[in-house]
Amino acid sequence: MRRFAPPFCLFAAFSLVLSGCAVKRDSYHPPEVDLPERFHEAGKSGISEAEAAEPALPRDLSRWWTRFESDELNALVERALDHNWQVRAAVARLAQAEAALGITRAAELPTLRGFADAGYNAPEDGVGTVSRGDSVTGEQIYRAGLRASYEVDLWGANRAATVAAWERAQATAFARRTVAWTLTADVVDAYLTVLSLEDRIRVGNKTRDLMAELLDAVRQRVEGGEATALQLAQQRTAVAEASSVLPELERQRDAALHALAVLVGTTPGELHLSGDSLTEIAYPSVAPGLPSRLLLRRPDIQQAEHNLLGADADIDVARTAFLPQIGLTTEAGFGSNALSALFRPESLLFNVTASIVQDIFDAGANEARLDFAHARHQELIANYRQAILFAVQDVESALSGVHFLEQRMEAQREAVEAARQSLDFGLQSYDIGVVDYLSLLDTERTLFGNEDTFYQVALQRAQASVALFKALGGDGDSQSKAGERPEADDAEQRPSS
């Protein structure tokens, strides 16, 4: 009987020796990025260096929207994180990435298949074996058994592909967090916008009513000969101007409500808000912490980092295409010409096949794939560094916004109070004839303009806090739990090298 074991053992030993030549690297790392020791704009908000470097900052960001002190807003954010369809789509994309990882990881292990076949061959001894005048005879063949195949991962190609797939799955997980991160800020912004527009509509209605009352007074004076028709026409114009502002403000409010409804995963008709003023909320701020902590908190940076590491592993996959691919196939089972004798001991069959495949000419395809992998890696390095710079910019701009908008809001508040007092004095002076009508009309318009501006600035100040919380990375715990999280989301471990 012919022996197969020695050649097979020699081939296996040869494979083990070559495995020491694997081109896959042991680990992959993102590039170093130089960051300042602290945020430049932190000092403008009166934040000390100790506060800026507060190590417990992530706790400060937990459920950050609750710091606006609005129960209705809290409920809207929670509803959005649970029911927003973009979040659910992101969860589904994560499930796809994890399934793709499973497909890639399977290539590292042998495949085992069962087989069973039946056939009939004629002529029995093969084509061209039947002599002239002889009868054509055939034979039946029955086989059943197991077939195993394995591509020997000498160069680490399959392992590198698994690492790349794992990194992309992690990038998709952070992409899901990025959706939730952006969604949370959008919900808070939309809610604050609705409140601001409700305030502005209230101011507009009050101004229109005040001007309408003054219009009646001017009309009475015209009838008494104390005012002119020109003054009456001017006051009618002022009433019409005040009235014309209201439809636009109401249109903007409805648009903000419709947008908010979509964000929380419902239709506008199903969304009912009880809040109607920015005076019902607080204006939070927060110490920004160290710039380097952005690399740990911002989901967009984490997403860029994992995409970069995956592209780095793709380079090793492309490099292995220049090396021979070695495969092993073994088959064991039973074969017989008679079905009744198929599973007898003498029908046992067994074979082992080893193959080595090496590209000799591919018109430069492998070289182009390697060049593509390197270029993709360089692109993602640039994206990663740019994402970090954008993150620092976001924090600096938000800190500056909180500081200067706080000052502007206080100044605008004083302007409103002064304009209100001016109108009170103007009305009294007009009644006794001390000031003329045009001065009073100008005072009315000044008050309306200042009150309307105040609520616009108040909105900008509140949104600056939203921008700061978002720039710092938001609530990572809530982002990781948004939507229906697959069980494997946090259970996966990084593939070992």
How big is the CA angle at 288 (ends 285 and 294), to the nearest 5 degrees? Answer: 135
Q: Which residues contact 206 (CB under 8 A, 6 or more apart)?
A: none
Residue 123 lies in a domain: no
How far is 353 from 221, CA to CA, in rounded Å?
111
The count of domains in the chain is: 1
How much is the pLDDT for 50?
54
Joined tokens for residue 266: 């419902």
Q: Which helix (H) or strand (E) holds 333?
A: strand 325-336
Residue 266 lies in a domain: yes
Residue 241 lies in a domain: yes
Terminal CA-to-CA distance of the chain, rounded, Å?
A: 43
What is the number of alpha carbons within 13 Å of residue 415 lying toward its C-beta? 17
How much is the pLDDT for 55?
47
Indicate the Cα dihedral angle 70, 72, 77, 80, nearest 10°. Answer: -170
Q: Which helix (H) or strand (E) holds 364?
A: none
CATH number of the domain that residue 393 is part of: 1.20.1600.10
How much is the pLDDT for 56?
43
How far is 401 from 348, CA to CA, in rounded Å?
81
DSSP letter assigned to residue 382: H
The pLDDT tens digits along the chain (497 residues) read 444 445 545 444 444 444 445 567 878 888 888 888 888 887 765 555 555 545 444 446 889 999 999 999 999 999 999 999 999 999 999 999 999 999 999 988 899 999 899 888 887 777 777 777 777 777 888 889 999 998 888 888 889 999 999 999 999 999 999 999 999 999 999 999 999 999 999 999 998 988 888 888 888 878 888 778 888 898 888 889 889 999 999 999 999 999 999 999 999 999 999 999 999 999 987 878 788 877 778 999 999 999 999 999 999 999 998 889 889 999 988 888 887 778 888 888 889 999 898 888 889 999 999 999 999 999 999 999 999 999 999 999 999 999 999 999 999 999 999 999 988 888 888 777 677 777 778 888 889 999 999 999 999 999 999 999 999 998 888 888 887 544 444 444 556 55
How far is 240 from 243, CA to CA, in rounded Å?
5
CA 294, 299, 302, 308 dihedral sign is negative
How far is 395 from 471, CA to CA, in rounded Å?
5
Residue 473 lies in a domain: yes
Adjacency order of strands within the sheet including 325-336: 111-121, 139-152, 325-336, 348-357
Q: Which domain does 165 fall in, by range?
A: 26-111+155-323+365-481
Q: Which residues contact 440 (CB under 8 A, 6 or more apart)?
A: 214, 426, 427, 429, 430
Joined tokens for residue 384: 């990663």
Tens digits of residue pLDDT in 341-388: 788 888 888 899 998 988 888 899 999 999 999 999 999 999 999 999
Residue 146 lies in a domain: no
Residue 455 lies in a domain: yes
Joined tokens for residue 148: 């195993």
How much is the pLDDT for 2?
46
pTM (two decimals): 0.82
Joined tokens for residue 409: 């809001």
Residue 389 lies in a domain: yes
Residue 12 lies in a domain: no
